[in-house]
A and B are shown apart, each in its own frame.
Chain A
Amino acid sequence: MAFKRKEATIEATDLNAITPEDAEKRIIAGVRKYATNEANWSQADANTPFLGHIIGMGIESSNLADITMSIERQFLTKKTKRVPLSEGSSEFKLEDGELGKLRILEGQDATAATPGLSIKMLVDLGHMPKNEAYLSKVVSFAYVTSVGEGYRTNDALKKLVARIEKLAGPEKDEAKANLKALCDQAKAYEALIGDAAAFTASRQKISQNDKAAYDSLRQELSVIEDKIKGVSATNDAERLASLRAEEAEVRTRLRMSAQKLAVSSAVAREAAERTPVIQAKIEEIRAIVRQSLQEAERALA
């Protein structure tokens, strides 16, 4: 008998004929093979971040594309008709057609950071009907990332405190200086996430900066496009080729900037809305960070 792996047969389900809870179960089961932390995995729910190493599943970032593929393989949708974004363009959008394989286009999964947010992505893209009751229990991307940041800070605090206990002499002094800086960072985090207005303002500021960077690139592209128009009439092939290369580079940067802006805009929009589920997550992480800060203060004393 040769070495064989058991192969799971995946039967794709119509997203219009399934509840969000069942879709969530399927997503969690499909992602299971990528989770290195089985103990955390067993407690995964709609709001467990795919990448959160403390509260999450220990999935490596390289597997995020695999998670999207896993979701694609499990569901069927009516949004299968490909409509070009413009005439002759290879880029397309999906509109209603025959029931067929689910296709998640590039960038559409940018904020699908938890099973619940994956469901939200499918709803937002029109692949499945909206279910307000379910979505009200899903922590927004803005707070998944921000609460995750708290867990990472807390983890760093705990590790450094534990390390300091084993050190002596100049090494201990250096570690204490690092701990003090980390405490300041943790306090700032705890205060910011606790203040809804300040937190929202900080996320809006980030989004505004991203918007400014995006607009600047659009302006840069516009200038190049004008130059190309001008040179096209002169038959200067060398100059035209150079401008075309420049245009391609700026378009690439613009595409990346647009993706970044889409994410930060979503975060800025969502930051202002704190549902009871989100508020509970915030209070939980604040309490954890405060507890670790007390331990850190003792280590610094």
Chain B
Amino acid sequence: MMRLPAFTYLAPPTVAEAARAVVEHGGEAMLVAGGTDLYPNMKRRQFEPKVLIGLGAIRELRGVSGRAREGLRIGPTTTLTAVARHPEIARHYGALATAAGLVSSPQLRNMGTIGGNVCVDTRCNYYNQAYEWRKAIGFCMKKDGDICLVAPSSSRCWAVSSSDTAPVLWSLGARVRLVGATGERTMPVEALYRDDGIEYLAKRPDEVLADILLPPADGWTSAYLKLRRRGSFDFPVLGVAVALRIEGAVVRDAKIVLGAVASLPRSAPAAASALVGERLTPEVITRVADLAAGPAKPLDNTDYAHFYRKKMTRVFVARALRRLGGLDGEGRAEEEVA
């Protein structure tokens, strides 16, 4: 029931060869980095690749380079532990270090990579189940079936984006470089995501995530708050990423991005605009938090009731703003875990 099916494992030495291998094996192949999400999903037969193309041997994909002044380049197979502990990231892109450090458990962060977290499969209570279970209840459209068990009248899949780092990277203005068999392109990280639980990545199968590029830190401060039931292990059921550029106590630029409330990270541009030119007073924070909760449209397909997650969006945005504005002495981000 929970055995890993047989597959062929390839370990190309370069990104170009990895991309070519995908083309060669077509729909039978998948890319794998740390495998902490993919392998359990294969055991449950959410994925049934015959060929896995491992990225671990590609040296150019691993490690962090550059300075915050000019912007950082993070290799996608850098482990989440390495990202969380990287001094330059922790100092200048605090929310990213926080988010990477809140993914799953220490053991999985030692294996799991930031690229894997950026591309992590969407999740749903009816999908993240073993094959027999899904067979019993009737397969859903995300795998083997043709209906949505969360919203049976829906023609689309509502599985939830469950990345901790994606909303943070978006809020930080990160870009990603994709290398495919026939060329490469660089685009804002948000362009990587689609509003569909099944086709949730706007990346061709042969495209390999080759770089995660952070812009110059340039006076930005950031925070990430995560809602989950336990202090470890669990995927986010709400993530709030806030990045602000504050000059003389006045917010000059702002980004607010929500995770785990839709099939892709959701930005809250109206809320962010309302911050610009303002000081972080309690009144402003309340108004902005109300606006930020607007784009959060969670459904009942993760842990916690959807109305609670919606409600908590407001609370978590307010807390993130209070923290960045130095308005409270409320402990560390980890303590916000519900």
Q: Check if A and B associate.
A: no
